[in-house]
Amino acid sequence: MTPNSNDTWILLSRVRVPPEMPWTEGQCINAARYCSTLDHLKEAIRRKRPGLLRRGVVLQHDNATPHSANLTQQWLQRYGWEILPHPAHSPDLAPSDFHVFGPLMRHLGGMAFETEDDLISELRNWFDNLDVAFFRVGINSLLLRCQKCIDLHGDYVEK
């Protein structure tokens, strides 16, 4: 897949986990739960970016079991979502690893939280206040990193 000016890229979605999708501590993500999350993402895209679903969605995820399961592959095929290839064990190509976690850790540095809810509230506040430019930089960086990975014949970008 080669990005062009007609492609729309979504680095991260500000889709919150809706009340009907409660998270239980210690609960694992399986293919059914991942597909349910994709359903919510699809609905959020439909609401926030009308027309994007008709043009096609390109999703980047790794090869974790819920992502590669038959149920997930069927879901992606049913809705015509394309997967941006992601080599296994490549955190240098995962936007969350190379673009989000550093600034997030700097933001949280030195903070102490009395409860898990306090931490979740601070995380939501941080994400809600990010500027669109933050995500644009992440997308552009991902494209450059993918090209560098290709140029390095699949070797780590961070080397």
Q: Is the pTM of this model over 0.85?
A: no
pLDDT above 60 for 13: no
Q: Are residues 21 and 62 in the same domain?
A: yes
- Of the three residues 57, 86, 115, the one that is the final residue of a domain is 86
Token pair recorded at residue 49: 């970016």
Q: Are residues 71 and 114 in the same domain?
A: no
Residue for token pair 């501590």 = 25
* Total domain count, the chain: 2
Confidence (pLDDT) at 69: 94
Confidence (pLDDT) at 1: 40
Q: Return the closest-CA partner of residue 93 out of 13, 37, 10, 154.
A: 154
Confidence (pLDDT) at 21: 53
Exposure string of 129-145, with b = 16+ CB inside 10 Å and e = fewer, is eeeeeebeebbeebeeb
Q: Are residues 16 and 44 in the same domain?
A: yes
Q: Are residues 73 and 135 in the same domain?
A: no
Confidence (pLDDT) at 139: 76
Domain extent at residue 37: 1-86
Q: Distance (Å, rounded) from C-alpha 36 to C-alpha 76?
A: 12
**Residues 25-74: tens digit of each pLDDT:** 667 788 998 998 899 888 888 888 777 777 778 887 877 888 889 999 99
Confidence (pLDDT) at 105: 87
- What is the average pLDDT value for the chain, to the nearest integer? 76
